[in-house]
Each structure stands twice: as structure tokens, then as C-alpha cells.
Structure 1
Amino acid sequence: MSLIQKHGQNMDGRDFIVGDIHGQYDLLLEAMARVDFDKAKDRLFCVGDLIDRGADSFKCLSLAFEPWFFGVRGNHEMLAIDALERGGSAEDLWMINGGTWAITENMIEVRQILREALKYLPYARQVEVSGQQVGIVHAEPPADWSQVEMADDVGKEEMVWGRTRIKTRDTTPVSGIDAVVVGHTILEQPTWLGNVFYIDTGAFQTGRLTLINAREVLA
């Protein structure tokens, strides 16, 4: 599977980007209703972490198969697959970090669905919006966007887990892309650092799920 999936401009409808969903299925439906999301024409891109910490994580994981939904993998998807494949301490780590929703599900089914869902959740996406290019990763983009396609294990881990930029408040623009949208780090409000836009507003804690029109990213 390619590390990145690229999307041409949506000629029929609109494109939206949503922050970390974390099992908050009803919040997502409310956010989509507010913008009159049209599943036949519009596309919804997600910065990852569909699952964990929320009771509807199984429903949210299934979003990966919807023809209008385009997510990337987050650290919680990776925690989960690690736990379900290896068990032991990996499972303990997942449970501590919000995986307890799976206890009430059929674990074999959860593993099968997650394995399949990951085929639809690359490490990165790139979307043409109004003639410009918007990148999406879960946590931390590389300094040069072209590095996404050739990322090694360290590069992949950064895209899923990294927080160097947000911790150091680094405003150096990512080269080779007009803007990048990420989640992973909960902030009071969506925040720009250079050309990187952080949109995780902690839906599972705050009840605020950020969903924005992709054109706003380039405004």
C-alpha cells in the first residue's frame, strides 16, 4: 500500500476536513448536518484517530469503508492493531489509552475490521483544493512534503506520533505543499504553526469536534 493517496479537485461538491473523532459518532453526524454535508457529492477527510476513548469507536472505524470518507491512520489505530496482533503489554497499553470500548465487542471481529480498515487509511493524503495542494497526516509532517512518499519506519512513526513542531512552536513552513492539516495534539482552538494547521479540539473531552471546509485552510 502506498504511504500517500492523492486526490484531484472535487468538481461536483465540497471537501471538508475533520479532527480526531475518537468514537464520537453522534458529534460527527451533528457536525456534518451543520454544513449540510451531501454524501453523494461532498468528501470528508479525517486526520486520524477514528477510535478509542469513545463508546461508538466500532461505528467510527467503519467510516473507513464509506465512499465519501477519506481518513489517514492515527496513533490509536496503530496502538489497536499492535494490541490485537501481539497481545500482552501491547494490549495493556491500548486499554490504558482508551481501548476499553473493544471489551464489549467481539475482539476477533474488531481485529478483522481494523486490518481491513487500515487498507483504507494511508499515512498521508494530498488533496487539490482551488488549484492548491493540502496535505493531511495525523501528527507531524516531514520538513519537505515529498519525503512522505519515501518515509522509513522513523518517518512513519513521526507522521503518526510526532509532536516536535507543536512542542517547540516551530513555524517553519513545510516545503513542497501549500498547507498541511494535522490532529493528535489537543488544543483550545484550531491553531496555525507556519503552514501547518492543528485541528484536534479534543472531541471526547470537550464535546467540540472541529470540521472545516478545506477552502478555509487556504483562505
Structure 2
Amino acid sequence: MSLITKHEANTKGRDFFVGDIHGQYALLMEAMARVEFDKTRDRLFSVGDLIDRGSESFECLSLAFEPWFYGVRGNHEMLAYDALNEGAGQAWDLWQINGGSWVYLHGVHEVRTILNAALEHQPYAREVEVEGKHIGMVHAEPPHDWHLLQLEDHSAGLESLVWGRKRIRQMDTTLVANIDAVVVGHTILEQPETLGNVHYIDTGAFCTGRLTMIDAREVLS
């Protein structure tokens, strides 16, 4: 699978970005209803972490197969992948500590099957054309130059895409080169934050009840 998937402009409807869902399927449905999301015209881009810490994780993971839903891999998808494909051991314990207990509601085999299939629809990055500009999306931290994601040897930077927090810890406002804006999640904030051209939209839905969903045009305003 390519690191990045690119999307042409949506000429029929609107595009939205949503923060870490973490098994809060009902919250997502409420957020979509508030903006009168039209599944036949609109598109929803998810920054990853569909699963864990919420009992509706299976339903959220199933979103990966919807034609209007476009996610990227989060660290929780990768924790689950390691645990389910390596079996019992350190990877399993790490996943359980980080909210993987929902697996027991459905069974290991069923969850492994749907997770492995869902990951085929979740690249590490996406790029969306909006009103003639381009918005990138990764789960945690983009590279300093967006074009690096198109290099075959950028696999060394995958951990930062999924786990990185260096930029936000340093409150780094340096612009990511060769992209107009980037949307990320991963780090829970009181409210959405922008550093340079990077927009952080994880507001901790599983613990605060607040799931941030924004119109793509707001990212460029």
C-alpha cells in the first residue's frame, strides 16, 4: 500500500474532518446530523484512532468500508494490529492497557478479520483538494516537507506519522512545506489548536464527550 492517497476536489458536496473517534459511534452520528451530512454527496476524513476506549469500537472500525468515509491509520489501529496478529504477549498486554478490552465483546477472530480488512482502506496519509488548495492528513505528526511522503524510502518516518508529538510539545509553528494545511489528531486538547499550518482536532471524545468535526473550508480560512 502507498503511504499516501490523494483525493480530487469534491464537486458534488462538502468535505469534513473529524478528530479521534475512539469507539464513540453515537457521538459521530450526532455530529454528522448537526451538519446535515449527506452520505451521497459529502465526504468525511478521519484522523484515525477509530477504536479503543469506547464500547462501539467495532461499529467505528466498520466505517472504513463506507464509501463516504476516508480514514488514516492511528496508533490504536496499529496497537490492535500488533496484538491480534502476534498473539498473546507484550503486544497484547499493551493493547489491553490502552483500551482494547472491547475485543471481548466480539471475539478475537472476528475483530482480527475486520481490522486487517479495514487497514487496507487506511493509508498513513491522505491529501485532499479543497477550493484549489491542498489539505494533508495524518494521525499524529506530519514530516517537515509533505513531499517526503511520496518517497518510497520514507518508511523510516512512519512512527512519527502515527505516534509523534514533538511538534506540539515544542509548540512549533514552522510551516509544513509543500502543502497548504495539515489536519492531525492523537494529542487531546481542550479545544482545536493551530500551529503554523498544522491543525490539531482531537478533543478527547471518549473522556470529554466532545468530538470535533470541522468543514474543510474552515481549515483554509
Indicate the TM-score class for this superposition, using the shorter chain for normalisation: over 0.9
Q: Deviations over 1:152-186 (max 9, x none)?
A: 33301100000000011100000000000000000
* Equivalent residue for 2:195, pick from 190, 193, 196: 193
CA–CA separation in structure 2 for the residues paired with 1:73 and 1:50: 9
Which residue of the partner structure matches residue 141 of structure 1?
142
Q: Which runs of 5+ in 2 are unaligned?
A: none
Which residue of the partner structure matches residue 56 of structure 1?
56
Which residue of the partner structure matches residue 95 of structure 1?
96
CA–CA separation in structure 1 for the residues paired with 2:40 and 2:78: 30
Q: Deviations over 1:66-112 (max 9, x none)?
A: 00000000000000000001121100000000001111212101101
Which residue of the partner structure matches residue 15 of structure 1?
15
Matched, 1:205 2:199: no
Q: Deviations over 1:22-43 (max 9, x none)?
A: 0000000000000000000000
Which residue of the partner structure matches residue 110 of structure 2?
109
Matched, 1:33 2:27: no
Which residue of the partner structure matches residue 44 of structure 1?
44
Paired residue secondary structure (1:50): coil
Which residue of the partner structure matches residue 68 of structure 2?
68
Q: Which runs of 5+ in 1 are unaligned?
A: none
CA–CA separation in structure 1 for the residues paired with 2:154 and 2:183: 21
CA–CA separation in structure 1 for the residues paired with 2:113 and 2:150: 27
CA–CA separation in structure 2 for the residues paired with 1:36 and 1:104: 31
Which residue of the partner structure matches residue 78 of structure 1?
78
| Aligned pairs, number | 219
**Large movers: runs of 4+ above 3 Å:** none
Paired residue secondary structure (1:117): helix
Which residue of the partner structure matches residue 180 of structure 1?
182
Root mean square deviation of aligned Cα: 0.7
CA–CA separation in structure 2 for the residues paired with 1:96 and 1:49: 15
TM-score (norm 2): 0.98
CA–CA separation in structure 1 for the residues paired with 2:154 and 2:110: 30
Amino acid at match of 1:6: K
- Does the aligned pair in 1 maintain the 2:148–2:154 contact within 8 Å? no
TM-score (norm 1): 0.99
CA–CA separation in structure 2 for the residues paired with 1:112 and 1:159: 24
Amino acid at match of 2:212: T
